[in-house]
Structure 1
């Protein structure tokens, strides 16, 4: 009977917060029955030193505590990513990754900010959160290494495409300075032969240094095109391989069945959004940042547009898919809804309408990958 009572005792918490930086980690800890947190600085990235310090904190608290102890640790998500959380969880330490943008801060005057103040404030936030006050902050779900690696695949492609666009714009700008408006080999091909025959607006061949600069830009462009092809080959293998570690690969395959949804878009949506679990459509729209953000105070009522609180790249992709949906799924119920409500009412109305269509399309695609429910009137690709 006494043993049962001992095991039912709630462990006394040792609150710990980490303030991470590139050079050092500041560890703030609050032991049971202590009024103020203690501080300790350890080298950045030294996980062994961190675990050793946590063990010493537990031993120190055990000298005065009469019951079991448990470490409750938190830190802000940032430069170091999630590897620290996975390491701590693997060592049996209760870890919470906090979203710093969700902290409630004072808006009176200038806010004093130091690592010490932030570390001590996080302990107070963690105590309130564990006590049941979920309004003080939001926690970030720690992804598995497979989920994080799947996101990296499509994010690398997005980075390469943006870099390719900058180089193409640079080439066109260099040529436009001398009256050259058309570049036929901009997407690949025999661009060197085209430079031989190219003439400026006043009939001169390209100058020596100008041509060499353009050649180097084309060389970088060719390298980027090759790297994008390699990334897309890795994507195809990750989706179709039987031994793939890509999460929810079957959802990406299902999305590709819909006309207007390409393979890259389907993979990115699954890696960033549909590999997660959502209880309802409101949670889904809020996660992407496509939820409305009204402003109602006293007699003032106005709409501030969408919240834009989620993943920017995914939100941009959904707007692009909404335009593609209108083109490749004109007979669908969503396209008909957009035409009846927004078409022919000006550019502003079209811009507002495409955002609304993107939100509806997101929910329809979510239902499709989860339950197989085809959006009303949508066409599937021939198998």
Structure 2
């Protein structure tokens, strides 16, 4: 029996009477593939961000396919550096758009395969048709945040970058000082001023000037970090962030960690069960079972990496500040007596369980068993 006779047997064909459009987004130009599922797709190249030309391409594609009137248009593109502005613009034009996860797109498994932007856009177009024909699991579709929800993620992400810059500036100053056998415990503050005044004369003018410029950049970054952290504390204490304030009541969870969890994970995403939550965090198991081979490959590491890293750090913090909780007792019974490798494996399992417990705490008000709550802040109560 030939493959063409069986490839589409028992499957829905693409819904005709619609126009399908796939974007392959680039820095300078976009590649568009447009088709109706009957004729061969038409292709065109658009200058990046030229939305007027996109509408023109849609009009020409409708005329080519013989589609008249208010014909539904379905489009898609891969999630990437362009973010979600294009999705919102397409929605305003009445176009049903999908933003898909790049890692979920199927690829040819040959050792050497042809890859061009045209082939990629054609592949997206064919998968878009399959998706609307009923094959919903052909790829993973991203959930689109509102502009306000997307904007709320700016603070903690900027804080993360600033802290990395602070570490880089500090390390650079230490490296320059070690060149002349000078070592300092802390860079910045009152102790630094006295130490630098005492030892700066030992350095040559060029090196001294470079360290001073580096310290100016370090001071600027430190001021910006303090300003953002103060803003976070003020919003939580004033009652403007109730979910964050609720999380910070649990011992072992600070304002910064609670802020990141709410803005990245719990604030705008909706989970129906614990498996969806673990999958979003990339803490879901990844089995490999083929024939007689049955191997557990570990966690998938797919999803929100900021939240996943943070949950592992919070798991260690939970063991320290919540030793009497049921989660900590479970970890100690199963992994604490084992070696370092088992503890590293166990902390990932604890992070997954802790994430589920925090989700139930915020969603249903279920306090983790035997968990200790901090006393209410007097300022928060007054607010």
TM-score scaled by length of structure 1: 0.88
Question: Is structure 2 residue 248 aligned with structure 1 residue 256?
Answer: yes
Tell me the distance in 2 between the aligned counterparts of 1:352 and 1:31. Answer: 50
1:345-360 alignment runs, 5 A limit:
345-360=338-353
Question: How far did residue 14 of structure 1 move?
Answer: 0.5
Secondary structure in 1 matching 2:32: strand
Secondary structure in 1 matching 2:185: coil
TM-score scaled by length of structure 2: 0.88
1:22-101 alignment runs, 5 A limit:
22-31=27-36, 33-34=38-39, 36-61=40-65, 64-65=66-67, 69-101=71-103
Secondary structure in 1 matching 2:136: coil
Aligned length: 361
Q: Which residue of the partner structure matches residue 223 of structure 2? A: 226
Contact 2:87 2:97 in 1 (8 A): yes
Question: How far did residue 241 of structure 1 move?
Answer: 6.2
Contact 2:37 2:129 in 1 (8 A): no
Tell me the distance in 2 between the aligned counterparts of 1:273 and 1:22. Answer: 29
Tell me the distance in 2 between the aligned counterparts of 1:343 and 1:151. Answer: 36
Q: Deviations over 1:288-327 (max 9, x none)?
A: 1111112222222222111111222221111111111111
Tell me the distance in 2 between the aligned counterparts of 1:141 and 1:126. Answer: 17
1:1-383 alignment runs, 5 A limit:
12-31=17-36, 33-34=38-39, 36-61=40-65, 64-65=66-67, 69-184=71-186, 186-189=187-190, 191-198=192-199, 205-236=202-233, 239=236, 249-275=241-267, 276-383=269-376
Contact 1:11 1:70 in 2 (8 A): no
Evaluate the alpha carbon distance shift between residue 198 and residue 67 of structure 1 in structure 2; reply closer, same or farther with a 3 A threshold. Answer: closer
Question: How far did residue 152 of structure 1 move?
Answer: 1.7
Q: Which residue of the partner structure matches residue 6 of structure 1? A: none
Question: How far did residue 281 of structure 1 move?
Answer: 0.5
Contact 1:290 1:307 in 2 (8 A): yes
Question: How far did residue 216 of structure 1 move?
Answer: 1.9
Contact 1:188 1:222 in 2 (8 A): no
Question: How far did residue 262 of structure 1 move?
Answer: 0.5
Tell me the distance in 1 between the aligned counterparts of 2:189 and 2:92. Answer: 48
Tell me the distance in 2 between the aligned counterparts of 1:80 and 1:108. Answer: 30
Question: How far did residue 351 of structure 1 move?
Answer: 1.0
